[in-house]
Amino acid sequence: MIRITQLSMSLAAGGRAVPILDNISLEIPDKQTVAIIGPSGSGKSTLLGLIAGLDRPTAGSIELDGAELTTMSENALAKFRRAKIGYIFQSFHLIPTLTALENVAVPLELSGEQNGDARAAELLASVGLAGRLDHYPVQLSGGEQQRVAVARAFACRPPFLFADEPTGNLDSAAGVQVIDLLLGMHRDVGTTLILVTHDHDLAGRMQRVVTLRDGRIESDRLTDSLLAAPLP
């Protein structure tokens, strides 16, 4: 369960504090799939980064699996993120000096997995990249890089997966492929999936759609896909 209570964020710009998120409260049960939508600048990426522990809020509380993120030390937070959180960026964020296989093996090795390479190869095969293990990110298409990022994010089977416009840099076919993978892994692992998107069709494939406007929740609704794709 994710429990966000009275979350606010302001950032300093031009010598004054600019409010970015204003008093957001949200509860997300385990295994739910949620789309966060809203106009550019409404605070979607800021909110996602805060829930994933990538940043610290100005005020409010963020609880994941009963752990309060806002008061954790940097070390404890890093450890918590490694164990529980996968994050996918619009621009892939693979390590350019590592091959596809090595990129996926990194989190496995950090978590103490013995057969990191074998497991990474298996994961890459599951996203259709068995033939690309030794390719560096520059040698992969955008869709392929994002599939490596999906394999990496799921490597440690995290209970929480966040994706910030994961299809924003992909054509529609590659985008559908990435979303099918995310939903497939959500079904297999039971991951809570929260993704930011500008794509209303994609948002409609999630069980719930939260709309932000000017740093506040404008609407919060369940979609029909709750009926189409019941919780595992």
Ligand X SMILES: Nc1ncnc2c1ncn2[C@@H]1O[C@H](COP(=O)(O)OP(=O)(O)OP(=O)(O)O)[C@@H](O)[C@H]1O
Binding site residues, Mg ion, CB under 5 A: 45
Q: Does 13 help bind ligand X (rule: CB under 6 A)?
A: yes
Near ligand X in 179-218, by CB under 6 A: none
Residue 46 makes contact with ligand X by CB under 6 A: yes
Q: Which of 1, 29, 30, 41 binds ligand X (CB under 6 A)?
A: 41
Residue 42 is a binding residue for ligand X (CB under 6 A): yes
User: Which one of ligand X, Mg ion, none is in contact with 177 (Cβ closer than 5 to 8 A by kind)?
Assistant: none
Name the segment binding ligand X (CB under 6 A); options: 40-48, 150-158, 202-210, 221-229: 40-48
DSSP assignment of 67-110: EESTTS-HHHHHHHHHHHEEEE-TT----TTS-HHHHHHHHHHH
**Please, which residue, 14 or 66, has the CB nearer to ligand X?**
14
Q: Which is nearer to ligand X, 45 or 146 (CB)?
A: 45
3-state secondary structure of 82: helix
DSSP designation for 94: -
Considering the rule CB under 6 A, would residue 45 count as an interface residue with ligand X? yes
Which of 40, 73, 75, 97 is in the footprint of ligand X by CB under 6 A?
Answer: 40
Q: Which does 146 bind (CB under 5 to 8 A by kind): Mg ion, ligand X, none?
A: none
Q: Which is nearer to ligand X, 90 or 126 (CB)?
A: 90
Cβ-based nearer residue to ligand X, 11 or 231? 11
Which pair of tokens denotes residue 171?
């054509």
To the nearest 10 degrees (0 to 180), the angle between helices 142-154 and 100-110 is 20
Residue 176 in tokens: 């559908």
> CA 132 to CA 128: how far, in whole Å?
9
Distance, CA of 222 to CA of 229 (rounded, Å): 12
Separation of alpha carbons 32 and 191, rounded Å: 8
Of the CA atoms within 13 Å of residue 102, those in its CB half-sphere come to 10
Q: How many residues does this entry show for the chain?
A: 232
Residues that bind ligand X (CB under 6 A): 11, 13, 18, 20, 38, 40-46
